[in-house]
Amino acid sequence: MHHIKISLRIYLPFLFAAFLISLSLLGCAGITRNSAIQPTTSPKSTFIYVGQMAAASGIVTSTANTDALTSYEIQIHGSLKRLGAFDASTLPGGIVDYAASRPWVFTCDARPVCQEFRADTSGNLMVGADISSFGLHHVAAIDPSGNWLVASSMQGEQVFRIQADGTLLPGPHTLPPLPPPPIPPDFMDFSIVAFDPTGKFVLAVDPVFIVDMPGGFGFDSATGIFTRASVIFQLAEQGFHFMGFTPDGLHALGVQKTDTGSGDIEVLDWNPNNGSLNFHSKANLAINDVPDFFPSSLAMAGNLIFVQGGSTQNVVLHFDPSTGAISDTGERFPNESVNGTMRVDERTHTLVVTSPGNNLIGVWKYDPVTGTTSAVPGSPFPSGQTPEIIGMFSQ
């Protein structure tokens, strides 16, 4: 749950460090695009899906690799096993929007046309149900239950019930924005930033009319109906990037960019009873050995926070849920020129990062206690053009 999700992504390699927003704080599957609630049995396999993102012509790094949507299985030693791929004929112009929740992956390409893919029993993606009759051009998210897709067409933004065979059943429209008259309503009522871990609330902003304050919205998973619950001022602050919820479900992390171009991690208190998010504290980190530290992307495994924090070095931090404090573990690891979306697989203790500017996938193994991190042999691996992790499932 993408990183605030915008309806069109243009990837400029020289802006990656400051622009990419990662929502991958809930271990293996993360909340980047809202993964389904996992079963109580221990997962035996983890799959990761990498898509070619739409990019402005002339600024991407060329590659002979034709993969536009690739399925990988993460091996126990951390390497990636390629299961299969679709080429650009399936996704012309690259992916603009996506939403994923096991076993579904929805994409919208540059035409714009939205498609459904489904992971088979081996974890490989195959073409799902035909959803072309709905004329969808934007997908926002799938709720944590994996039952509802939020998407837009020229008729507006609404939720669709995902049936067992992948077909969509139209549900209610999302809430209209709250601009003052006479501003007309827009066709994308709000852009979902993230569902909370319970799936009962969603954080959302209106991407068109900034006068509509970001807020917390209640979500009824039985009916697909949203109700406005709270106004969240932190999401409206200049330079504030929401990064995701912590595993305890009672906190969230964000990054506040300073006037000098640096940034600090802010800890927020999340109330799962009323959908409110309030400031708790600043991390006040002093990463003196990484002078260009800016937490542009991060992922969380247990109480460890992996931060893409410098031009060459990544940083490992520790989060104490009892106090909300963040401290520096002192662990560092080189990014190997891989700067992009970060995801963590807690089953294999593996960190995976994509680099859209360099067409690379970096893979690291980490110690779940100390946070010591090292690259797996052969990493970084070549990928298709402008890669981004668009889904991660365990089963």
Closest CA to 110 of 179, 54, 29, 170: 54
Secondary structure of residue 333 in the 3-state scheme: strand
- In terms of C-beta density within 10 A (0-12 exposed, 13-18 middle, 19 or more buried), how is residue 83 classed? middle
pLDDT at 189: 54
pLDDT at 206: 67
pLDDT at 341: 86
For residue 6, tell me if it sits in a domain: no
For residue 295, tell me if it sits in a domain: yes
pLDDT at 24: 40
Closest CA to 385 of 57, 18, 30, 8: 57
Percent of the chain with pLDDT over 90: 48
Percent of the chain with pLDDT over 70: 79
Say yes or no to pLDDT of 32 above 50: no
Say yes or no to pLDDT of 103 above 90: yes
Q: State how many domains the chain has.
A: 1
For residue 152, tell me if it sits in a domain: yes
Query: What sign results for the dihedral spanned by CA atoms 125, 127, 129, 134?
Result: positive
Kindly report each contact of residues 71-75 with a partner whose C-beta sits within 8 Å and lies 24 or more positions away, as own/partner.
71/47, 71/119, 71/123, 71/124, 71/125, 72/47, 72/48, 73/45, 73/46, 73/47, 73/48, 73/123, 74/46, 74/47, 74/48, 74/345, 74/347, 74/348, 74/350, 74/352, 75/348
- In terms of C-beta density within 10 A (0-12 exposed, 13-18 middle, 19 or more buried), how is residue 226 classed? buried
CATH number of residue 309's parent domain: 2.130.10.10
Predicted confidence (pLDDT) per residue in 361-370, tens digit: 999 999 999 9
Q: Across residues 272-276, what is the average pLDDT?
A: 88
For residue 5, tell me if it sits in a domain: no
For residue 200, tell me if it sits in a domain: yes
Which has the minimum average pLDDT: 82-86, 213-217, 265-269, 270-274? 213-217
pLDDT at 258: 64
For residue 111, tell me if it sits in a domain: yes
pLDDT at 286: 79
Q: Across residues 8-12, what is the average pLDDT?
A: 35
φ/ψ (deg, to 5) at 5:
-70, 130
pLDDT at 328: 93
Say yes or no to pLDDT of 339 above 70: yes
Say yes or no to pLDDT of 181 above 80: no
Which has the minimum average pLDDT: 38-52, 71-85, 113-127? 38-52
Say yes or no to pLDDT of 36 above 70: no
pLDDT at 227: 86
pLDDT at 20: 34
Give the structural domain span for 249: 16-394
Predicted confidence (pLDDT) per residue in 293-317, tens digit: 888 888 999 999 999 888 889 999 9
Distance CA(312)–CA(290), nearest Å, equals: 9
pLDDT at 41: 46
For residue 4, tell me if it sits in a domain: no
Beta pairing partners, 389: 50
**More confident position, 341 or 29:** 341
Say yes or no to pLDDT of 333 above 50: yes
Say yes or no to pLDDT of 126 above 60: yes
For residue 11, tell me if it sits in a domain: no
Which has the minimum average pLDDT: 104-108, 154-158, 243-247, 249-253? 154-158
